[in-house]
Amino acid sequence: MSDADLRQEELVGHVPALRAFARSLANDASHADDLVQETVLKAWSNLDSYATGTNMRAWLFTILRNTFYSEFRKFRREVEDVDGKIAAQVPDRAAQDGVMDMRDFEKAFAQLPPDQREALTLVGASGLTYEEAAEICGCAVGTVKSRVNRARVRIAELLGTEKDKAENDPVTADL
Amino acid sequence: MSHDRQEQNGRDSARGEDDTISRSIKRVYDQIADEPLPDSLRSLLERLKQGEPRG
């Protein structure tokens, strides 16, 4: 198998992860798959520029992210979910295993701004380091950490866990 | 309850909350990654392998 074939095979192997990352940015499944298609086309035609031995997943995520934000700037109003319409379309994966109601979680996640969704996904789900996530996002490591932290706080607020925590806090519960 | 113990409980609570969020985001991510590829995407990959990028 040639080097080009190996690169192509590796690219194909990253498509499932690309879909998951795209969904975190776009929320809408159809839009996310359009992003993946565009990313695959761009990456395939530029595989020669990919440096073998480096992180192809990070390279692909960067292409997808740039594609998303390029569209985002053009169609900002279409991707904002100000009235929760996209969040309301999140399919109900009602599986309950005692972790968290996934529908509630996905609705809360969908309400985060894109930069926080991508930071949380890159670091919390795709297994990338803060440094790798920062490189993909084109920002400082501290910025990624800040976005992840803000995303966690916001999700906790949206899910009401902050309230629960305050009520159970032995210091504030009786106030 | 001592102040130190209360602080420790607060840290444990925050850590547990973070763990819950981490597990949830990971589960959503894995569910999507485990989905079968849509026909449109599989078709595109086939065309690319055959050297017909814009099919």
A96 CA to centre of own chain: 23
What's the gap between Cα B45 and its chain centre?
Answer: 24
pLDDT at A27 over 90: no
In angstroms and rounded to an integer, the radius of gyration of the C-alpha atoms of chain A is 18
B53: which chain A residues are within 8 Å (Cβ-Cβ)? Answer: 41, 44-45
Chain A residue with CA closest to B55: the answer is A41
Whole-angstrom Cα distance, residue A68 to residue A74?
10
DSSP secondary structure code for residue A47 in this structure: G
Spatial neighbors of A118 by CB under 8 A, at least 6 apart, are: A21, A24, A25, A65, A137
* Contact status, residue A161 vs residue A172, Cβ threshold 8 Å: no
Residue A89: closest CA among A27, A34, A36, A31: A27
Q: Does A166 touch chain B (CB under 8 A)?
A: no
Residue A129: left if φ>0, alpha if ψ -120 to 50, beta else—which one?
Answer: beta
Distance between start and end Cα atoms, chain A: 70
Residue B1 token pair: 């309850």
Q: What is the pLDDT of residues B5-19, one digit of tens each?
A: 555 554 454 455 567
The count of CB pairs under 8 A between chains A and B is 90
B34: tokens are 């485990």
B34 touches chain A (CB under 8 A): yes
Identify whether the C-beta of residue A126 lies closer than 8 Å to the C-beta of residue A21. Answer: yes
Report pLDDT digits (tens) over A115-152: 999 999 999 999 899 999 999 999 999 999 999 999 99
Nearest residue on chain A to B53, alpha-carbon basis: A41
**DSSP 3-state assignment of B48?**
helix
- Cβ <8 Å between B32 and A19: yes
Q: Which two tokens stand for residue A135?
A: 């490189």
Stated length of chain B? 55
Q: pLDDT for A64-115, tens place per residue?
A: 999 998 887 776 655 555 555 544 444 433 333 444 577 888 899 999 999 9
Calculate how close chain B gets to A121, using CA atoms only, in Å: 7
Residues of A in contact with B1 (CB under 8 A): 170
